[in-house]
């Protein structure tokens, strides 16, 4: 009010001054009353003109992009411009702040490992993060505001969306059938929907592998157990001659050994999968490992094969002695079992140009057809089940070898030709192998 009063008084004073000037001018022309009136009117006119000019410049600014500051005139128009400008800037700041928050929120959802999609009340896509777009095979820009059921036609998903009961997630194959999706829908706002998707392909595959594994283990254990139960019944109920009794007992012994081997391999696998990687600073002499493995293979072969060891005298591997031995023994054991009598089996230690090394087992045995090679390290995978079992195999040997190789930073490579023989190489990285120092070698 004080500001308004000052402005009114200033205007009145200006008009009064106009009147006074009019009196002076009017007296000179002998018409003082007319002079007062003209002077005051001129003053009012000047005030109106000034206000119009100031108001116009404010109007020009308001009509423009508002990017510059409001015209800072003094008086009423300046004050008005300043207030409008300040209100605009405050709003702009608030909008910018909200936009930044929205962008942050969206980038947080974008970073989610799960798919997130927002549907409006007509099931049209309002927003979708890139994981969601990938899961459903969408293009977030092109498919914006497209009905989701036109783009994702999987019956299970469409039915779930239309059922309007979203307690449980729905599971179905993603686009091209290469992945499995678990999709959870939640309602929000007025008829809107939030669609959360998760790629569970890996989880499903692991679950299937676990189921297969349990089924395989049960089968592998049940078979010798059934045979044993049959023999126990035979011994109990039939009067057997000494020769027959011995034969039954020897067959029972074979089945028991089979179960023992299976349980042993299962325990080894469980240990390999459940324990931390072997330390990289415990050095194991390779020569000892190869010698022991050769002795066991010679015993298994019982003179039917030539078994040779080459190299590795001065080599050491950083890792677990028992694991490495188990890997070499398994490879050598297979070579003997899958090589007919008179064949040759070689166990080699070969240094590589990159400083790493390979433990290689070469045989002149039955070989493996190409289509089986990629699957040999799967648990319980056998090319010929009966030959494997007859020779005491569990189907877990190469799976153990692969685990051991990986735990030592290495890998396993198989080359084989049907009827000609096989070459299994366990490669170890340079970090895990070294040549034993001369002095240490002499002292040993």
Burial (CB count within 10 angstroms: exposed 0-12, middle 13-18, buried 19+), residue 414: middle
Shortest distance in whole angstroms from residue 378 CB to ligand ADP: 8
Q: According to the binding rule CB under 6 A, does residue 224 interact with ligand ADP?
A: no
Helix ranges, 338-430 (H): 370-373, 385-390, 397-407
H-helix or E-strand spanning residue 232: helix 201-237
Q: Which residues, numbered 418-437, are part of the site for ligand ADP (CB under 6 A)? A: 422
Question: Rounded CA gap, 413 and 426, in Å?
Answer: 7
The three-class DSSP label of residue 238 is coil
Report which of 287, 359, 349, 279 is spatially closest to residue 318, judged by C-alpha positions.
279
H-helix or E-strand spanning residue 427: strand 421-428
Shortest distance in whole angstroms from residue 358 CB to ligand ADP: 16
Shortest distance in whole angstroms from residue 425 CB to ligand ADP: 12
Angle ∠(41,47,52) on CA atoms, nearest 5: 125
The answer to whether the CB of 135 falls within 8 A of the CB of 154 is no
Question: Rounded CA gap, 117 and 121, in Å?
Answer: 13
Q: According to the binding rule CB under 6 A, does residue 404 interact with ligand ADP?
A: no
Q: According to the binding rule CB under 6 A, does residue 136 interact with ligand ADP?
A: no
Q: According to the binding rule CB under 6 A, does residue 366 interact with ligand ADP?
A: yes
Q: According to the binding rule CB under 6 A, does residue 368 interact with ligand ADP?
A: yes
Q: According to the binding rule CB under 6 A, does residue 394 interact with ligand ADP?
A: yes
Question: Rounded CA gap, 214 and 443, in Å?
Answer: 50
Q: For ligand ADP, which residue of 39, 224, 393, 410 counts as binding (CB under 6 A)? A: 393
Structure tokens that stand for 410 in this block: 């290495």
Q: For residues 154 and 330, which CB has a smaller minimum distance to ligand ADP in the complex?
A: 330
Q: For ligand ADP, which residue of 383, 412, 428, 433 counts as binding (CB under 6 A)? A: 383
Q: For residues 77 and 424, which CB has a smaller minimum distance to ligand ADP in the complex?
A: 424
Q: According to the binding rule CB under 6 A, does residue 388 interact with ligand ADP?
A: yes
Q: According to the binding rule CB under 6 A, does residue 335 interact with ligand ADP?
A: yes
Q: Which residues, numbered 274-333, are part of the site for ligand ADP (CB under 6 A)? A: 330
Q: According to the binding rule CB under 6 A, does residue 382 interact with ligand ADP?
A: yes
Binding site for ligand ADP (CB under 6 A): 330, 334-335, 338, 363, 365-366, 368, 376, 381-384, 388, 393-399, 422
């Amino acid at each position: 009010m004080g500001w308004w009063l000052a402005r009114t008084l200033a205007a009145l004073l200006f008009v009064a001054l106009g009147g006074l000037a009019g009196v002076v001018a009017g007296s000179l022309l002998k018409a003082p009353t007319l002079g007062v009136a003209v002077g005051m009117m001129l003053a009012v006119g000047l005030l109106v003109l000034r206000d119009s000019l100031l108001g116009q410049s404010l109007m020009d600014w308001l009509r423009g992009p508002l990017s510059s500051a409001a015209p800072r005139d003094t008086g009423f128009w300046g004050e008005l411009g300043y207030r409008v400008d300040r209100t605009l800037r405050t709003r702009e700041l608030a909008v910018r702040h909200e936009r930044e928050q929205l962008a942050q929120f969206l980038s947080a959802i974008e970073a989610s490992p799960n798919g997130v999609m927002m549907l409006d009340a007509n099931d049209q896509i309002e927003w979708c993060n890139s994981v969601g777009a990938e899961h459903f095979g969408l293009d977030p820009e092109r498919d914006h505001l497209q009905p989701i059921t036109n783009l994702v036609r999987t019956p299970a998903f469409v039915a779930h969306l239309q059922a309007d009961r979203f307690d449980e997630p729905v599971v179905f194959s993603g686009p091209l059938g290469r992945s499995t999706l678990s999709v959870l829908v939640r309602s929000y706002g007025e008829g809107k929907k939030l669609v959360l998707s998760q790629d569970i392909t890996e989880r499903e595959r692991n679950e299937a592998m676990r189921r297969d594994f349990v089924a395989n283990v049960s089968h592998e254990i049940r078979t010798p157990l059934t045979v044993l139960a049959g023999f126990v019944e035979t011994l109990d109920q039939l009067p057997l001659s000494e020769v027959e009794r011995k034969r039954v007992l020897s067959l029972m012994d074979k089945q028991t050994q089979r179960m023992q081997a299976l349980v042993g391999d299962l325990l080894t696998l469980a240990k390999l999968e459940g324990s931390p990687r072997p330390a990289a600073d415990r050095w194991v002499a390779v020569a000892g490992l190869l010698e022991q493995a050769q002795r066991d293979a010679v015993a298994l072969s019982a003179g039917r094969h030539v078994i040779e060891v080459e190299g590795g005298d001065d080599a050491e591997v950083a890792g677990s002695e028992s694991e490495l031995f188990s890997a070499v023994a398994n490879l050598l054991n297979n070579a003997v079992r899958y090589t007919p009598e008179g064949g040759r089996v070689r166990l080699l230690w070969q240094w590589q140009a990159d400083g790493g090394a390979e433990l290689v087992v070469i045989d002149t045995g039955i070989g493996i057809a190409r289509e089986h090679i990629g699957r040999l390290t799967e648990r319980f995978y056998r090319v010929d089940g009966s030959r494997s079992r007859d020779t005491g195999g569990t189907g877990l040997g190469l799976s153990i070898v692969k685990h051991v190789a990986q735990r030592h930073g290495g890998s396993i490579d198989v080359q084989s030709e049907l009827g000609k023989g096989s070459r299994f190489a366990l490669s170890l990285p340079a970090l895990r192998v070294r040549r034993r120092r001369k002095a240490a070698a002499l002292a040993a």
